[in-house]
């Protein structure tokens, strides 16, 4: 699992990764990644964050405070971490759009 923190114009500020054992589904993997990213952001002193994920059901569950039995504890942690930010948003982004944005940022760095 991994994450990248960027500023408003797409410049990489920081990144991280973590590994977990016994991940039972892609949904759980994405939830664990979000939890780790939020924890890392808090450790860095980041207070405002716009989180983008290609896991539509997970983003909806977080935004609507829905419970999913498989990841109940992880969602609890995500909501707890989210309450520690002065501003936070969770948004769905398609995988294709995410790849395009990452490619665009890479090309800007090369210029």
Residue 52 gets the label, from left (phi > 0), alpha (psi -120 to 50) or beta, of: beta
Superfamily of domain 14-110: Ribonuclease H-like superfamily/Ribonuclease H (3.30.420.10)
Provide the β-strand partners of residue 12: 6
CA distances to 20, 68, 72, 78, 81 from 5, rounded to whole Å, are 21, 27, 26, 17, 16
Domain ranges of the chain: 14-110
pLDDT confidence tier of residue 80, bands split at 50, 70 and 90: very high
| Mean per-residue pLDDT, 8-33 | 84
pTM: 0.81
Identify the residue with better confidence: 22 or 82.
82
């Amino acid at each position: 699992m991994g994450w990248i923190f960027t500023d408003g114009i797409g410049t990489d500020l920081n990144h991280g990764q973590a590994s977990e054992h016994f991940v039972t589904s892609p949904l759980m993997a994405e939830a664990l990644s979000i939890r780790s990213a939020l924890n890392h952001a808090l450790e860095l002193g980041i207070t405002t964050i716009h989180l983008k994920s290609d896991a539509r059901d997970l983003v909806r569950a977080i935004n609507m405070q829905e419970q999913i039995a498989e990841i109940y504890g992880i969602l609890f942690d995500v909501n707890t971490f989210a309450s520690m930010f002065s501003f936070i948003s969770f948004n769905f982004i398609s995988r294709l759009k995410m790849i395009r944005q990452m490619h665009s940022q890479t090309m800007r760095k090369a210029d």
